[in-house]
Structure 1
Amino acid sequence: MTATARLHEPTTTPAPEGIGPGDDGWRLPARAFLRRIGHRGPVTPTADSLRALTTATLRAVPYEMLDALEGRPTSLHHPDVFAKLVHRRQGGTCLETTPLLGRFLREAGFPVRLVAAQIWRVKGGWAPRWDHLILLVEADGAEWVVDAGFFMMTALEPLPTDGAEHTHDGWTHRVATADGHRAVLRRTPGGDWIPVYRFAERHLETADCTWVVDYHMAAADSPLTANLLCSRVIPGGKLILMRKNFIRAENGRENIDFLATERAAEKAIAEIFHGHDGKLAERALRLWNRTRGKRAGKLPGIG
């Protein structure tokens, strides 16, 4: 059985207490992590605390894959990810930010599962691979979808899996079923429901995801090594840079600007990486210039 197939087989196996590479002897430095995300409130295994911690992480840690664009594979080792996101104050992808947040939540007492998801493409249809990662977290007797590493728009705070509609800052989501799997759906301004992604049930270890890194570093159609893709959650929405498009998604609406010049790209990149070392924005601008002339292909799983 291939790694891809393994990742999305549903199962009724009970959820483990937490996520991570096992008993590796490393304990996440909680105070440094909290300083990085700017969280000063209580840390208890409750829904209110989960909401505050997730929101703080989303707003503090941008989505970026600059290392991959520069030819450096993503490390799945939690101490390496911690050094990148916390000590060096970079951003990350679903392979980095989401598992690291999951490890923090586990050590704070939350029951957590790390599971694979298959993204719905911008132009319709499921991506060919289950190469996105999300968390399923239990708090206050309910289960919540937590996504700290998604490039495009999804729920801006933990989403209950109760099937009800949940609206936050003009964005409405719910968990339903799509093609045989539970899925996160988003309501469009016109009232239609479209999938964001569908997700599996089986808990993963980070070692189960090495094939995702190998694929994106080697595949000619990987968006992570061919295009500059970066984003950051802001109050009410998200700022998204996708190739030459800058999307400002706020309060249920999306406005798209075409980045025709380097100056326009520089301004958009600076906004996404606001509050971070200027060298991060400088690297992103160099990569935007390097990739701007590449032929645009399909964007498969972007997580």
Structure 2
Amino acid sequence: MSDTVLDQNAWLERIGISSPLPPTLETLNRLIFAHAHSIAYETLDIMLGRPPRLDVPTLQQKMIAGKRGGYCFEQNMLFRAGLRSLGFKITSLQGRVVRGLAIDAPRPAIHMLLKVDLPEGAYLADVGFGNLAPTSALLLAPQIEQQTPHELMRFIDVDGELTLQAKLRENWHHIYRVIPHPRYDAEYEITNWYTATHPETPYQGNIIAAKPGPNKSRITMYNTRVTVRDADGLAEKRWLATTREFKDVLCGEFGLNLSNQEIEDCIAVMKHKGTGDTPHPFFA
């Protein structure tokens, strides 16, 4: 996949940055924060029978020109292209999601991550995890508590894989283990196809969206349930009932460019195949 076809100006405009910036740690933090707040995590195309494509022209058309969001492979592929266009040195990685599971759970590598090499060291960049994606770069080193614009985070070494954790209220929650070995794009294509088409993944029948908000808040949507978590970790939940309410949240609060028909189709799939209000460990 060639990153050279990225329209850098269009990407920067989409995330609210007016001009190219030097490839520094300060710039990386600014880009992560801006991208995460501008382009929501969402998996609705999978519900609509449209497995995501990961080539940069398609990602640009969908997420920049089309004003949609995407899930981890889409988000981090687009972000990687943007970073490379600005001169950042990137290594593509994968992670094992352990959100809501044991820290050493035997998990497949189904999450895309980026390692950014800077004079200050190697940093993790991830704009595609959804409700707990770090909103700044994180130094890839264990046992260092690192403050982001949202949660306090750290890495714990588990047999050579750094496990990302976030502190919610007084407790540390596991997110994913980082596999330190470089990955080829073909491996993302295989994993993307699996996560987008396997009938037992949560994306087939459930409306899922997430986005960081102001004042360290985060908003997450899982089917009819919308959760806003504040800086102290307190969650306010509400449940949607009408198509109008779904449209107000998806198009208004998440900023997604969806037609009325697409929203109605997602609701129909959710009612037929979704897991209802049953909590999912990845989207708690």
- TM-score when scaled to structure 1? 0.81
Match of 2:119 among 140, 154, 164: 140
Match of 1:183 in 2: 163
Matched, 1:129 2:108: yes
Distance 1:189 1:25 in 2: 39
Distance 1:223 1:62 in 2: 18
Match of 1:228 in 2: 207
Matched, 1:290 2:269: yes
From the superposition, tell whether residues 246 and 26 of structure 1 become closer, same or farther in structure 2 (CA, over 3 Å): same
1:58-109 CA-partner distances (Å, limit 9, x unpaired)? 0110111221111011111111111111111111111111111112212211
Q: 8 Å contact 1:231–1:240 — kept in the other structure?
A: yes
Match of 2:132 in 1: 153
Matched, 1:205 2:171: no
Q: 8 Å contact 2:100–2:173 — kept in the other structure?
A: no
Distance 1:281 1:201 in 2: 43
3-state SS of paired residue (2:73): coil
Match of 1:269 in 2: 250
1:47-62 alignment runs, 5 A limit: 47-62=25-40
1:11-26 alignment runs, 5 A limit: 21=1, 24=2, 26=4
3-state SS of paired residue (1:95): helix
Deviates more, 1:111-120 or 1:264-273: 264-273
- Letter matched to residue 226 of structure 2: F
1:74-153 alignment runs, 5 A limit: 74-122=52-100, 126=105, 128-153=107-132
Match of 2:239 among 238, 253, 259: 259
3-state SS of paired residue (2:203): helix
Match of 2:152 in 1: 172
Matched, 1:67 2:45: yes
- Letter matched to residue 11 of structure 2: F
- Structural RMSD (CA): 2.6
Match of 1:239 among 219, 223, 246: 219
- TM-score when scaled to structure 2? 0.86
Distance 1:294 1:40 in 2: 42
Distance 1:300 1:151 in 2: 13
Q: 8 Å contact 1:118–1:199 — kept in the other structure?
A: yes
Percent of pairs identical after alignment? 20
Shift, 1:169, TM fit: 4.4
Distance 2:169 2:261 in 1: 35
How many pairs are equivalent?
Answer: 277
Match of 1:13 in 2: none
Which fold has the larger relative contact order, with Cα–Cα distance below 8 Å and residues 6 or more apart in sequence?
A: 1
Shift, 1:260, TM fit: 5.0
Structure 1: give runs of 5+ residues left out of the alignment. Answer: 1-20
3-state SS of paired residue (2:156): strand
Distance 1:35 1:295 in 2: 35
Shift, 1:186, TM fit: 1.2
3-state SS of paired residue (1:58): helix
